[in-house]
Amino acid sequence: MFRLIRFVLLTLLVTAVLIGTVLTGFMVWAPAPTTQAIMVALRTQAGLHTRSLILPDGTRMAYLDGGQGEPLVLLHGIGGNKDTLLAVARHLTNHQRIIIPDLIGFGDSSRPEGVSYGPQAQARRLQAFVRQLGLGPIHLGGISMGGQIALTYTALNHSQVRSLWLIDTAGIWSAPPSEVQLAIRRGEPNPLLLRDEHDFPRFLSVVMAKPPQLPPPIARVFARQRLADREREQAIMNEMVREPTEKRIRGLTTPTLIMWGQLDRVVSPATIPVLQKLLPQAKVVVFDDVGHMPVMEVPETAAQAYLAFRRGR
């Protein structure tokens, strides 16, 4: 029996080494296909399936869809896409239906030229998307730019939003500026925009308190995607700043969870009391030692806090 156990363990070890060696080889020689394969595996693990539809304006909107129950639509931030929310989604699909679109201009969705990508334009596209899926009233969440769009959508369709989940949300420009905002005001390079294909680790250190150590070939794949959209991202940031959200949302009674990382350098946690005055019924959860991305830094804890909110705790 001992010999059999030793043989099985040795076989497993050799198999793991071989798989690791092969995977490392793929990362070096074919990083883009390897990255795509990893993302597909993570989507499957989260119980999500890739779909798309054509909006009335002719643009294609890609999205992830999975789970059962009342629909929760989650919106990514600038520089992100539907996969940004995979880590937290995998802890939610057993509880409800999760729908995560690539907003127009991002990910696998259309990138039309000469159109607005501001929060109000994106909220109206989201309105068409929700209507086309026949979802009816939805639960809605968003991180950073996605939070600003979620607030704008709710202001336009307050009777069609059952609850709001705002994660380190942008768009509250009367709040104290963040470290990133102050750097931009001083005329320094925008910390959220990549400078070259080796710049992704620096970017991660800005948006996360404890960023993961990605293999360099994979990091460069993500960097190249971001660099291709650099001008569009800057234009979208400019539009976001021109659209103040406060007047639209003042006094909204939609049940709301405000979630924040205490170490957020992108959107200051000092935004929270400003949001609380605008949304007097909101509940607040703040995570210590977490940056701008709770959904990636502490995904299970973030999901549990959201589910507790939905249960009314």
**H or E stretch at 167:** strand 161-167
Backbone φ and ψ of 67, nearest 5°: 90, 175
Can you say whether the dihedral through the CA atoms of 175, 181, 183, 187 is positive or negative? Answer: negative
Distance between CA atoms of residues 246 and 266, nearest Å? 19
Q: Which residues are catalytic?
A: 76, 144
Both tokens of 15, joined, read 């198999």
Find out whether 109 and 43 touch, Cβ atoms under 8 Å. Answer: no
Residues 6+ apart with CB under 8 A from 88: 295, 296, 299, 300, 302, 303
The long-range contacts involving 16-24, CB below 8 angstroms and separated by at least 24 positions, are 24/215
Question: Of all helices (H) and strands (E), which one includes residue 19?
Answer: helix 2-29
CA atoms within 13 A on the CB side of 7: 4
Token pair, residue 281, equals: 């019924």
